[in-house]
Structure 1
Amino acid sequence: MVKITGHKETFDFLNILIPSVFFFYLLLNSISKMSDGIISGENAKENYGRFFKSLIKFYII
């Protein structure tokens, strides 16, 4: 097991970095789904809404 030692700033940076990477992954994933044509028309609005709601929840928690 690796013991992580460092300054508080490092942990703050990681706390920002990890959600950002996760968000970027979600964003790319949704874009690739849309380009595949799986999501179209009205369904796209619904899925975008769901995506942003989950994103907001993720950042609040």
Structure 2
Amino acid sequence: LQLTLDVLNLFNRKANDIEYWGGACTRSETLSGSCGGGIDGRLVHPLEPRTLRLSLRASF
């Protein structure tokens, strides 16, 4: 048996996991095929909030 505990964003920091410049479309534009190159802008994915993850693995 293997028991694992992961703590993500221990100090609950408010930051972005990744930031980049690129084109983006809305979901309706993508579905209708009218997106083209999208609208250029800064795209971000914020850090996840403080999270505890407990897992148990059994091998035999």
TM range (shorter): under 0.3
**Bigger Cα Rg:** 2
TM-score, length-scaled by structure 2: 0.22
Structure having the higher strand fraction is 2
Instruction: Specify which structure has the bigger relative contact order, considering alpha-carbon pairs within 8 angstroms and separated by 6 or more residues.
Output: 2
* Greater percentage in helix: 1
